[in-house]
Structure 1
Amino acid sequence: MKPAMETEAEENTEQSQERKGCFECCIKCLGGVPYASLVATILCFSGVALFCGCGHVALAGTVAILEQHFSTNTSDHALLSEVIQLMQYVIYGIASFFFLYGIILLAEGFYTTSAVKELHGEFKTTACGRCISGMFVFLTYVLGVAWLGVFGFSAVPVFMFYNIWSTCEVIKSPQTNGTAAVEQICVDIRQYGIIPWNAFPGKICGSALENICNTNEFYMSYHLFIVACAGAGATVIALLIYMMATTYNYAVLKFKSREDCCTKF
């Protein structure tokens, strides 16, 4: 029989080996986490949620403002109402697509990062793996360019609402004295091209314009468009991070595949 001290020493050695093995396993797992893709996924989900949620409500508020104040004839803004309704359905599609796309990109990040870290060495030399990575690189570049356009487009209503708000601030200014001077300050919404030039009244002046700026519809729509524009900007940043991460992973996989081919001969 072994002495008690030797038995205790062997148990301590086994426990230390188990701790060491568990620590190495944790380090190995942490090394396979695609932190860039993880950050980009969170930013992408947040940006798309802000853009779609706030944009949908802001569009509905914009239609209400136009119908109540700038275009009392339904036929004048019928086409605009249909376009906005179509845009709201597009927003539903964008939200669903990017929810799925973000999950797929995160999974692809885990796949390629594990291959780059040589945690799953059999994957890094397969043509299928490199083809999938290359496809995501191309698709992410295309979506990034598309979202730059979305970001620019979302800034248009912000600019329009800001002009209306700044005009109301001029009306409220103490420097603007007299009823005649106030009534000469106008906003013509027809110049933005969202309603036709024959729309009535199309132009609002003076105290009537100030009343529009004090309504909840205007206040909410203005700030929701700002948040939607910020969400589009966050999505663009997320896609830029995706671009860098997927391009780097693809380049490393390509390099390692050539390295493996050379070592076989």
Structure 2
Amino acid sequence: MSRLNTSILELWHARHFIKNSIRNEFITRVVRSRLGLVWIVIYPLAQVVIYAFVLSVIMAAKLPGLNNTYAYPIYLTAGILAWSLFAEILGRCLNVFIENGNLLKKMVFPRLALPTIVCGSALLNNLVLLASVLLIFSLLGHAPSFHLLWLPVLTLLTIGLALGLGLALGVLNVFFRDIGQLVSITLQFSFWLTPIVYNIDLIPEQYRHYIYLNPMSGIVQAYQSILVYRNPPDFWILLYPMIFEGVALLFAVFLYRRAIDEVVDVL
């Protein structure tokens, strides 16, 4: 516990470095592109357009309680909003130590600052996407309800889950480079094992527990409950993701403490 407190204190002392790194990364991404912030929004919304174009006729009638003409695109967007945050943090944490190997060797700073910067940058991108999504929803006649106040809780849960998995896999990826390839494939399968492009009710009841083994399933359904159905999230659906996140974070902290010095040597 004392080492954990020390790490947190080190991050606090490095807060200006972390804040400036997040700001510089965001500004660089915007300035170097002619479309700027639009690129943050285009990719996830392009996914929505593709899936909606292919599946909207089939899926529109499978969303009970939604009378909006654009019900299926709205449903898709809510799920992709959650998934994009999770996938970005996990994907970037996977290579965060490898990509910053020279920095780790040459500079003295809290090494946990690197995944913290990744989380902060991904959160900032997700907030831009969220603002765009809420604007689009309002234009489509689907303004959010006050249950939107639950969204920060779900965002923190998503970040914690992605950070726990990403930090652990990022450490292991330094020693076993095949992990990066395996995670990329696993993420593609996980996307389709999460009720983003389909409703969970379409899965036969005897197989639904397999879908719920994926911790992102409960989180995505909570996002959909808030943004699509304008209801509060179901606590029981979130219980398993919360437990999974806690275990993932504890394992990541244990692995990081045991292996981070060797990570620097290997790099």
What TM-score range do you get, normalising by the shorter chain? under 0.3
Whichever of the two has the greater Rg, that structure is: 1
TM-score normalised by length of structure 2 = 0.27
